[in-house]
Amino acid sequence: MLSATSSPLHFDDHRAPLPGAPALTLMPEVPYLDAVRRYADRGARRFHVPAHKGGAGAPAQLLDAMGSAVALDVPSCIDGIDLGYGETPLQRAEQLAAKTWGAKRTWFLVNGATEASHVLCLALGRCGGGEVVVQRNVHASTIHGLVLGGLRPVFVMPGLDERLGIAHCVSPRELAEQLDRTPDAMAAFVVSPTYFGAAADVRGLAEVCHERGVTLVVDEAWGAHFCLHHHLPQDALDAGADVVISGTHKMIGSLTQSAMLHLGPSQPGQLDEAAISRALGLVRTTSPSSLLLGSLDAARAHVDQHGARLLHTALAQMRVVKRQLRGVRGLSVLGDELVGQHGVAGFDPLRLAIDVSATGIDGHILAADLLRVADINLELVTSRVLIAHVGIGEPVLVGGSPLVKALRALLALAPRARGHESPWAPADRFGELVLSPREAFLAEHDIVALGDSVGRVSADSIAVYPPGIANVLPGERLTGPLVKFLLDMRARGRPLRGTWDESAGLIRVVRHCS
């Protein structure tokens, strides 16, 4: 793991060379990506899939769009890449990633953090199944994993921010109380940081779990950068988490759909290396993308070489952007004022979460106007908060200045704040869990209009996307406020993932369940 005070490795040294001395740039090791490039560069005879053969058989439009990247698209089971005697380049790349993030073992994933959630639930299911304590605002992929693994969830509520209408973190006290009510729980699934940037007291959560012999799984999909700089919240592995899900493409910059799964260096608990590897074999594709795997190798090398410097610059520029936004009428920015409330122990300073509640304008309207007048595409929109995503390597001021300018112009033309309807409280969104997710998913079902579903038990996980947090679970009764919210989101054009027919507003409900 990179320490808070040392520079990552020793590659990022930009001191001027001595007069007359040749410039020396030490490049970090990228074993998997280099192996793929060597294979492509030597013109190997490709009597294997894919049919594009590295370019010779590729559609012209694909070559025009992707260029030489097509040559790097090679299948698995190639000698010298992921096959061979001794340590393969892929194994070496995963070992280097484990060292960077402080893990005992790291797996590269090509189906996003979603794959990690499925794998962990399957591994727990093969370890005997049983009950698990789950933070209620987990990503929908965790809910799908519960279905696959046949686990029985007991939900623990995060802190609820009634003013903003969003959920934050689970506190150690809340987790301890729920675990004491669930003495047979095998594991606890928590989220830190949240989509909105709030970080939990993971060290406290780990202590609570380990005192009770429970495995702590942390969805740190939005915090892959935490270990790289001392001005960021403590990363989950360093805080004692047993297993950590890392959405590497979200903050570090690997290709979309790539991610990592880290096994902590502490006691294995229920989820050891063998159990995770075996479960991964159930869901991992036999045709993993070399482009995605190579991007993970490159992203790891990038943060080894430049991570601390990039974050130092990005954080400094983000402070400027946030100061400019606070100077715009009606805008504020979420940050450290949340610490100590709603289970929040820290806040990611690189997260740009803009509170628009004082403008009196619905956030969805502002987001639509930003898209219309400035082609600004936001990561997430709620009625009161806009999320503008920033990665560690991009020039924050270059991207942030047009956003500030556009918001200032839009709000200058808007009528003075009138106030608007209070956001729908998250507590109203969650209905009673009548059946386990697996029981409900596999049960006979009816197809009904969303508007006619109040009181019925959902057969599916339904989530407004983004962020993909399940608004209703398989086995959960649909409440009036929940259905009203989903209908409102559908009217605003927001995708509802998990419905039977999204365009027609039809959903599946359990047939025989009162």
Q: What is the pLDDT of residues 38-71, one digit of tens each?
A: 999 998 999 999 999 999 999 999 999 999 899 9
Sorted by sequence, the CB contacts under 8 Å of residue 175 that are 6+ apart come out as 133, 156, 188, 190, 205, 208, 209
pLDDT digits (tens, 9 = 90+) for 498-508: 766 667 688 99
3-state secondary structure of 294: helix
Mean pLDDT of 263-268: 78
Q: Which pLDDT does position 22 carry in this prediction?
A: 44
> Strands 105-109 and 380-381: what pairing?
unpaired
Q: Which pLDDT does position 7 carry in this prediction?
A: 31
Short-list 117, 116, 137, 113, CA closest to 470: 137
Q: Where are the domains of the chain?
A: 31-72, 89-296, 313-413, 430-510
Q: Which pLDDT does position 343 carry in this prediction?
A: 96
Among residues of the chain, what percentage have pLDDT more than 90? 72
pLDDT digits (tens, 9 = 90+) for 146-180: 999 999 999 999 998 988 888 899 999 999 999 99
How far apart CA 280 and CA 379 sit, in angstroms, is 29
Report the chain's C-alpha Rg in angstroms.
24
Q: Is residue 124 over pLDDT 80?
A: yes
Whether the CB-CB separation of 167 and 136 falls below 8 Å is answered with: yes
Q: Which helix (H) or strand (E) holds 205?
A: helix 202-211
Whether the CB-CB separation of 338 and 198 falls below 8 Å is answered with: yes
User: DSSP label at 397?
Assistant: H
Hey, what CATH class is 89-296 in? alpha beta
pLDDT digits (tens, 9 = 90+) for 363-391: 999 999 999 999 999 999 988 999 999 99
pLDDT digits (tens, 9 = 90+) for 58-117: 999 999 999 989 999 999 999 999 988 889 999 999 999 999 999 999 999 999 999 999
How far apart CA 510 and CA 362 sit, in angstroms, is 35
Q: With 0.75 as the threshold, say if the pTM is over it.
A: yes
Among residues of the chain, what percentage have pLDDT more than 70? 89
Q: Is residue 14 over pLDDT 70?
A: no
Q: What is the mean pLDDT of the chain?
A: 88
Q: Which helix (H) or strand (E) holds 455?
A: none
| Candidate CATH numbers 3.40.50.720, 3.40.1740.10, 2.60.40.10, 3.90.1150.10; the one for domain 313-413 | 3.90.1150.10
Given pLDDT bands bounded at 50, 70 and 90, which one contains residue 12?
very low
How far apart CA 255 and CA 418 sit, in angstroms, is 43
Q: Which pLDDT does position 490 carry in this prediction?
A: 84
Hey, what CATH class is 430-510 in? alpha beta
DSSP H helices, 375-501, are 396-413, 437-442, 480-491
Q: Which pLDDT does position 432 carry in this prediction?
A: 86
Q: Which pLDDT does position 488 carry in this prediction?
A: 85
Q: Which pLDDT does position 428 carry in this prediction?
A: 56
Give burial (CB, 10 Å; 0-12/13-18/19+) of 8: buried
How far apart CA 421 and CA 362 sit, in angstroms, is 9
Q: Which pLDDT does position 21 carry in this prediction?
A: 41
